[in-house]
Amino acid sequence: MGFLSRLIATGLFSGYIHLSPGTAGSFVGLFLYWFLPGSESVFFSVVLVLLFFLGVWAATRFDVETHSKDNQQIVIDEIVGMFVTLILMEKKILWLAIGFILFRLFDIYKPYPVRHAEKFPRGWGVMLDDVAAGVYAAAALRFIHWVAEKVW
């Protein structure tokens, strides 16, 4: 398997952490979000879209070469899902922590139609279910943020 596709698919090799690789990948996404400049900018949106398509490619290659379907070691989808959850969110620890928890909940429980996104072929299904979970988490996070601003 190619080094680059493995590096991307496993989220800088965080997918090899045996205990909850999806959570490890989500932490990598959170870490990258924190240090990427301009998360409120067009630049960040372009990075997100590029990372999504790189993830489709890398996840497809990883699945084909390991003869698996949505291998747990693939965590680029969690990284992209975290980016979707946090896009345009202010970088404050409280909101990042709440976003992380919300994303993990939506990613694990997969409410409708998140689970249906897994039915797309290869890397598309791997990536799209986490993007959908990220959209749910982003909406919940924005709602909580809005309520908090009204209350505090």
What DSSP letter does each residue of 70-86 carry, written as one string? Answer: S-TT--HHHHHHHHHHH
pLDDT value at position 5?
92
18: DSSP letter? S
Interacting residues of 34 by C-beta distance below 8 A, sequence separation 6+: 91, 96
What was the pLDDT predicted at 124? 95
In this prediction, residue 119 carries a pLDDT of 83
Taking the chain (152 residues) in runs of 10, the rounded mean pLDDT of each run is: 90 93 96 84 88 97 86 96 93 95 95 83 92 97 95 84
Q: What pLDDT, on a 0 to 100 scale, did the predictor assign at position 1? A: 63
pTM given for the model: 0.94
Residue type present at position 135: V
